Amino acid sequence: MARTGRQRGGRGLAAVLAVAVLAGACSGGEDVDVDGEGGGDGGEGGSAGGTLIAAISAEPDQFDPHKTQAYASFQVLENVYDTLVVPDAEGEFQPSLATEWTTSDDGLTWTFTLREGVTFHDGSEFDSADVVYSYNRIIDEQLANAFRFASVADVQAPDPQTVVITLSEPTPALLSNIGGFKGMSIIPEGAADEYDLATEAVGTGPFTFESSAAGGVTLAAYDDYWGDAPSIDGVEFQYISEPTAALTALRSGDVHWTDNVPPQDVESLADDDQVELGTTPSVDYWYMAMNQAKPPFDNRDFRRGVAFGIDRAAVTEAAKFGAATVNQTAIPEQSFWYHEYAPFEHDPAQATDLIESAGAATPVQMGLMVTDEYPETIQAAQVIQANLAEVGVEVNIEQEDFGTWLDRQSQGDYDAFMLGWLGNLDPFGFYHAQHVCEGTSNFHSYCNPEVDDLLGQAATETDRDARKALYDQAAELIADDVSYLYLYNPDVVQAWAPGLEGYEVRADKAINFESVRLPE
Amino acid sequence: MTGYVLRRLWQSAVVLLGVSVLVFAIMQLVPGDPIRLALGTRFDPDTYEALRARSGLDDSVPVQYVNWITSALTGDLGVSFRSGETVTSLIIERLPATLSLAGGAILVAILIAVPLGTLSALRPRSPVDWFATLSSQAGLSVPDFWLGIMFILIFAGTLGWLPSAGYTPLFEDPLGWAQHLLLPAVTAGVGSGSILTRFVRSSVLEAIGQDHVRTARAKGMRAGDVLRWHVLRNALVPFVTVGGVQLAYLLSGVVIVEYVFAYQGLGQLAFQAVQSRDYPVLQGAVLLFAVIFLVINLIVDLTYARLDPRISYRSSR
Amino acid sequence: MSIEESAETPPVTRQHRPRWLETLTLLARNPLAIAAVVVLAGLVFAALLAESIVPRDDIFTPDIANRLQAPSGEHWFGTDELGRDVFARVLAGAEVSLRVGAVAVGISLTAGVVVGLLAGYFGRWVDDTLMRVMDVLFAFPALLMAIAVLAILGAGSTNAMIAIGIVYTPIFARITRASVLSVREEVYVRAARSAGAGNVRIIVRHVLPNVTAPIIVQTSISLAFAILSEAALSFVGLGTQPPDPSWGRMLSEGRGFIEQAWWMAVFPGAAIFVTVLAFNVLGDALRDVLDPRQRSAMKGVGA
């Protein structure tokens, strides 16, 4: 590829230029401001530079952003790649590689203006051809995220700084689809042939991907980064699956940051002055679903009986030790899309009545499929089991490894299961495929034409408030029908060394070390 | 002797072929598939079908097996579904960790077994002997995963002397390597050490009773020399045998110990491969384990012949 | 492999007293063996009666308000992360461990002895075929094999019995075969053959009784290993299903609470240790009595 020929000649100059460009670009007032608070860049003793060591609980499977679906991979890739737009802490989309965008009146044409002066880590310049290449790679090769382009008819690059996306129907969720997470990263044109993207990474982000070994990954600050260059020299991710080990390492100063904080430790860590604790409600939700292709779970009254029979507060406390918020709908209060609706109280008497009225012989046997991939489902299931035993439902907990679990789920070979949806930003992503009759993630055979209708309208409604009103109606039906029996929104819990500055815990669990400064 | 070696090699090849068929069959029978796992819950059927077709998983089972075994014979073990890396490079990446752990554990085992076994044999029915017998029983009975957790609780948690998890390559950071290795090696070594202790004790006992040892003693040879030259040399035979079997066991992935200490060795690799339905990785790892097992057993048996010429090979098997 | 060469069993000689009585008398002289038997009897007692000794609710029903209580007069071993009584669960766990262990060893004993008898008695291609199959199973790392079998059959204690049973079959086959080889050409077997006895009759009447000693010893040792294996499989989430109390599962749950609640991991682990130790000690004592020449020979392979 020709682009490797362009070298980075004059590192210092390039850095100066990058800063200059950035100053212009930042005039819109977006983005986190580091320089404002810390007292300048001029290395004040130990606070500038240094390598941040981050302990993450799981091991990435691979590093190709378009192929992996593993959160652990995205923890690393978040710092290496960029998308056209990026959600801020509130979930609103802000400029990233695109500085601005316009939508045509019919909502079918989106025009993105790209940031100038951005270079990839291999020195090549970023332009619209890279965007077209990245998106077409996902679409043409039918990679994991191809479904996010379902309504995209065409991606064009009329000039190097402009990308035009043409849609087959209005898609208000487009920004979330292309910027919600780093699975939609922009890679340099031809990168899939030039690099082994499973083990290497070439992005435009604040850090370059240096090396990967069995125990972790090393990143280095990218001097030519288009934003504020990181003040630290690099990041070393270590995979520490054992929470005790991660916390020990944090206390002893061997690591600076970890996400491996089990909920049961939150209380004690809050008073621990060797550790700084950060928590915020996440946009994840955990739920139970009953297989509506099977009696008696196809009976709405039966499901409502179960919904009245479960003590959500006890389930949540058992699973998350207070580090979660009970919720009867999907999304937490902090989100724009939150809708206050809680029709079910824990009421064993009403539950028994409903379950008996459903006509099945009690005790009803119900297998509840859980997985050790998510141990909180096992904890929660044992409380659900005890709750439902009181209302005439005998729960058999079926713990499967995740491979078998998924297999049984897609074959409909289960009575009920418990799982979570993670990283929910736009309601299209967490309502549509799950609850429309033919939805690809509707594994529990829920079908309510009214819900289909509302979700269908909401998917193409471009007025945000009108759209929210549609989703609110749908959310009530989904809760009333017990399509999903929503349980709780867990907190994001992360911990770091006292004195570490510039880090922000985010509801979408994106982990960004761009503005971090190490403690002295 | 040559005939015997050839026969053993032939048998090993047959066993290896059997292992390859077995591991392949197991992965076919396990429900779930790697594509679905990689995509997770949020997936779309078209994507799934496209990826599946590309992965070769839609071929018939015999075709898949023949494809795999022919590549394997040329040294190509395929590519991991999970990480996209070649199986060979994944194994090579993990090999140093497993070699360190197996080596460390065998060292711990020998450090336990030789002194304890010899002392107890030299003073049968003494308190030392009782202690050795009981502690080897205890070492054999303690669950390694429990021992590991207790070590973590005490040495990493309460005392904070050692890291509780992970692996650091030797050449990057020798001190870190040793620190990370110590707890897992002791945990894995205790069981093997207990087994070895009993063998050392019984072989030393047997050797002491033999004529040439009595003769040497009668000739006035110093006790230490008798021990060194006659007793221990004769005790070496069963020691090598059992030590070899233990080494093979430790090399073929100490799954649980690696799991407890989050130690990135081959055992973890194989365990994760089962869980993520990463067929090529599991097949490669198990094949390697089988090769290690068969080679070490062959070496042990041949060494046995070398050290103890009384053994003939006509009747074996 | 080489270890089998040392396995030789003295033929049964006719004695005045029944052999089992003599064995028991000899065993009773060994204080360690008595201690082991007492411990095991206590465990069987706990296994059978756990649910009448402690309330069922203590074993199964979550009580979140009382979670993670330290050991006290009310909860001798403390409470777990769901507020259940750890003592009650350890007691009830004896049943799971012993049942899984016994059935698993029953499976490997039956399968292994049949294979070993056939291989050893018929020799030639029967021997070659059967023993190569056993070698294949043996070359597969034991725990990984059990994990793979459970991945096929699905997690659960019944399937764990099958998985462990398969894993320990080769060792019984080898021991039996080695013993059969040593008695096959004994005078009494030849005599029976020349008297026109059929193969089945010879095997059942003459071969089997003379190879029992090493098998009995191995059974006791295998019980120890099977209980360890069940605990290990439950530890990685593949054995006994929640909310049933299994020592291995309790231990793995306790691992996540090691800083707040050491008792969750310490007591179930101690229970496994004591049980396995008792079986190992008993196995050793049996060996001393039944089969003194084979001391420790097979132990090196079992782990």
The band of A178, judged by pLDDT with boundaries at 50, 70 and 90, is: very high
Q: Is A274 on the interface with B (CB under 8 A)?
A: no
Q: What is the pLDDT of residues B53-71, one digit of tens each?
A: 888 888 888 999 999 999 9
Tell me what the mean pLDDT of segment C108-115 comes to. 96
Q: What is the pLDDT of residues A213-235, one digit of tens each?
A: 877 899 999 999 999 989 999 99
Mean pLDDT, chain C, as a whole number? 86
Q: Identify the pLDDT of residue A454.
A: 97
Its domain, for residue A402, covers 285-491
The band of C17, judged by pLDDT with boundaries at 50, 70 and 90, is: low
- List the A162-167 sheet strands across, edge first: A98-103, A109-114, A162-167, A152-159
Q: Identify the pLDDT of residue A26.
A: 36
Chains in touch with A (≥3 Cβ pairs < 8 A): B, C
* % residues pLDDT > 70 (chain C): 90
**Domains of chain C, residue spans:** 29-62+77-302
Q: Is B296 on the interface with C (CB under 8 A)?
A: no
Using the beta-carbon criterion (under 8 Å), do B14 and C148 form an inter-chain contact? no
Q: Identify the pLDDT of residue A20.
A: 33
Please provide the size of chain A in residues: 520
Query: Residue C93: pLDDT above 70?
Result: yes
Question: Contact A275/A250 with Cβ under 8 angstroms?
Answer: yes
**β partners of residue A289:** A417
Q: Judge whether A359 lies within some domain.
A: yes
Which amino acid does the sequence have at B185? A
For domain C29-62+77-302, the CATH class is mainly alpha
For residues B245 and B192, state if they share a domain: yes
Question: Within 10 Å of residue A457's Cβ, how many Cβ atoms?
Answer: 15
**β partners of residue A209:** A219
* % residues pLDDT > 90 (chain A): 76
Question: Contact C239/B256 with Cβ under 8 angstroms?
Answer: no
Chain C residue with minimum CA distance to A390: C61
Query: Residue A27: pLDDT above 60?
Result: no
For residues A295 and A178, state if they share a domain: no
Using the beta-carbon criterion (under 8 Å), do A375 and C256 form an inter-chain contact? yes
pLDDT greater at residue A216 or residue A342: A342
Its domain, for residue B275, covers 87-307
Using the beta-carbon criterion (under 8 Å), do B146 and C149 form an inter-chain contact? no
Q: Judge whether B218 lies within some domain.
A: yes
CATH number at residue B273: 1.10.3720.10
* % residues pLDDT > 70 (chain B): 86
Q: What is the pLDDT of residues B213-245, one digit of tens each?
A: 667 666 666 666 766 666 677 667 767 778 888
Using the beta-carbon criterion (under 8 Å), do B31 and C299 form an inter-chain contact? no
CATH number at residue A474: 3.10.105.10
Domain end among B40, B73, B106: B73
For residues A187 and A293, state if they share a domain: no
Q: Judge whether A178 lies within some domain.
A: yes
Query: Residue B43: pLDDT above 90?
Result: no
Which amino acid does the sequence have at B194? S
Q: Judge whether A77 lies within some domain.
A: no
Q: Judge whether A23 lies within some domain.
A: no
Domain end among A194, A228, A259: A194
Q: Judge whether B315 lies within some domain.
A: no
Question: Contact A202/A81 with Cβ under 8 angstroms?
Answer: no
For residues A171 and A301, state if they share a domain: no
The rounded distance, in Å, linking the Cα atoms of A43 and A50 is 11
Q: Identify the pLDDT of residue A31.
A: 36
Segment among B2-11, B12-21, B105-114, B159-168 with least mean pLDDT: B159-168
The band of A515, judged by pLDDT with boundaries at 50, 70 and 90, is: very high
Q: Judge whether B130 lies within some domain.
A: yes
Using the beta-carbon criterion (under 8 Å), do B297 and C5 form an inter-chain contact? no
Q: How many domains does chain A have?
A: 2
Segment among B87-96, C83-92, C177-186 with least mean pLDDT: C177-186
Q: Judge whether B238 lies within some domain.
A: yes
Is omega for the bond preceding A348 within 30 degrees of 0, making it cis? no
pLDDT greater at residue C293 or residue A283: A283
Q: Identify the pLDDT of residue C168.
A: 93
Mutate to test the interface with C, among A271, A320, A401 (most CBs of C within 10 A): A401
The rounded distance, in Å, linking the Cα atoms of A499 and A401 is 40
Q: Identify the pLDDT of residue A448.
A: 97
Using the beta-carbon criterion (under 8 Å), do A244 and B164 form an inter-chain contact? yes
The band of B310, judged by pLDDT with boundaries at 50, 70 and 90, is: low
Which residues, including other chains, have CB under 8 Å from residue B79's CB and lie 6 or more apart?
B85, B86, B87, B280
The rounded distance, in Å, linking the Cα atoms of C3 and B206 is 17
DSSP-derived secondary structure for A327-361: -SSSS-TTSTT----------HHHHHHHHHHTTPP
Q: How many CB pairs under 8 A join A and C?
A: 55
Using the beta-carbon criterion (under 8 Å), do A401 and C155 form an inter-chain contact? yes
Q: Judge whether B193 lies within some domain.
A: yes
Q: Judge whether B194 lies within some domain.
A: yes
Q: What is the pLDDT of residues C258-272, one digit of tens each?
A: 888 999 999 999 999
Tell me what the mean pLDDT of segment A369-396 comes to. 94
Which residue is associated with the tokens 């089992």? C20
Which amino acid does the sequence have at C247? W
Chain A residue with minimum CA distance to C237: A372
Domain end among B73, B104, B134: B73
For residues A190 and A321, state if they share a domain: no
The rounded distance, in Å, linking the Cα atoms of B147 and B189 is 11
Q: Identify the pLDDT of residue B213.
A: 66
CATH number at residue A138: 3.90.76.10
The band of B253, judged by pLDDT with boundaries at 50, 70 and 90, is: low
Segment among A203-207, A248-252, A410-414, A467-471 with least mean pLDDT: A248-252
Question: Contact B51/B7 with Cβ under 8 angstroms?
Answer: no
Per-residue three-class SS string for A226-275: CCCCCCCCEEEEEECCCHHHHHHHHHCCCCCEECCCCHHHHHHHHCCCCC
* Residue closest to C139 by CA, chosen among A422, B22, A502: B22
The token pair at A297 is: 């779970």
Q: What is the pLDDT of residues B144-174, one digit of tens each?
A: 999 998 998 888 777 878 877 778 888 878 8
CA B36 → CA A62, A418, B223, distances in Å?
A: 16, 18, 68
Q: Identify the pLDDT of residue A21.
A: 34
* Residue closest to A417 by CA, chosen among A330, A284, A283, A287: A287
Please provide the size of chain C in residues: 303
**β partners of residue A397:** A368
Q: Identify the pLDDT of residue B207.
A: 76
Sign of the torsion formed by the C-alpha atoms of C194, C200, C203 and C208: negative
**β partners of residue A394:** A365
Q: E strand or H helix at C276, and its extent?
A: helix C263-290
The rounded distance, in Å, linking the Cα atoms of A17 and A15 is 5
Query: Residue C160: pLDDT above 60?
Result: yes
Mean pLDDT, chain A, as a whole number? 88
Question: Contact A415/A289 with Cβ under 8 angstroms?
Answer: no
Q: Judge whether B313 lies within some domain.
A: no
Question: Contact A284/A423 with Cβ under 8 angstroms?
Answer: yes
Chain B residue with minimum CA distance to A407: B32
Range of A109-118, B39-48, B129-138, B268-277 with top mean pLDDT: A109-118
CA C25 → CA A403, B213, C30, C33, C214, distances in Å?
A: 54, 36, 9, 11, 19
The rounded distance, in Å, linking the Cα atoms of B254 and B270 is 10
Mean pLDDT, chain B, as a whole number? 84
Which residue is associated with the tokens 């060795």? B265
Domain end among B73, B107, B128: B73
Q: What is the pLDDT of residues A37-59, one digit of tens each?
A: 333 333 333 346 899 999 998 88
Query: Residue C295: pLDDT above 50?
Result: no
Q: Identify the pLDDT of residue B49.
A: 86
For residues A299 and A173, state if they share a domain: no
Q: Which among B26, B143, B252 has the least Cβ separation from residue C231? A: B143
Question: Contact A115/A99 with Cβ under 8 angstroms?
Answer: yes
For residues B110 and B242, state if they share a domain: yes
